[in-house]
């Protein structure tokens, strides 16, 4: 069975469309996979940063605790005051 030139061109065009569609589909699937991988990477980074943030909040609470501040004061040989004296300045510099 011999095909005419027009039929041959139509078959070639259909075959080209099928290959182009297949290539487009493969490209689309590949892009989706890459985006999914990127999303998982970002989600892992978010989880890691949340964990680090929680650890830093615990560390901050520990460093701000009164016990820690008193221990640091003792380590620096600081003494507790019995009375606080405030100085009042009555000069022109203080009024600016």
Residue 24: C-alpha distances to residues 18, 32, 49, 66 (Å): 10, 12, 37, 65
92 pLDDT above the threshold of 70: no
Say if CB 62 and CB 68 are below 8 A apart. yes
Tens digit of each residue's pLDDT (9 = 90 or more) over 44-56: 999 999 999 999 9
**Residue with the larger pLDDT of the pair 89 and 67:** 67
pTM of the model: 0.53
Tens digit of each residue's pLDDT (9 = 90 or more) over 15-46: 999 999 999 999 999 999 999 999 999 999 99
* Cα torsion 46, 52, 55, 60: sign: negative
How wide is the angle at C-alpha 22 spanned by C-alphas 34 and 24, nearest 5°? 50
Say if CB 11 and CB 3 are below 8 A apart. yes
Tokens 């989880």 belong to 47
Quick one: pLDDT at residue 32? 96
Per-domain residue ranges for the chain? 5-78
């Amino acid at each position: 069975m011999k095909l005419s030139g027009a039929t041959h061109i139509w078959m070639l065009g259909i075959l080209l469309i099928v290959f182009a569609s297949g290539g487009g589909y493969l490209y689309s699937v590949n892009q989706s996979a890459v985006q999914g991988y990127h999303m998982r990477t970002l989600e892992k980074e978010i989880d890691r940063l949340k964990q680090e943030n929680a650890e830093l909040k615990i560390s901050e609470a520990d460093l701000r605790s009164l016990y820690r501040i008193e221990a640091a004061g003792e380590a620096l040989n600081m003494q507790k005051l019995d009375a606080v004296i405030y100085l009042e300045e009555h000069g022109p510099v203080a009024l600016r």
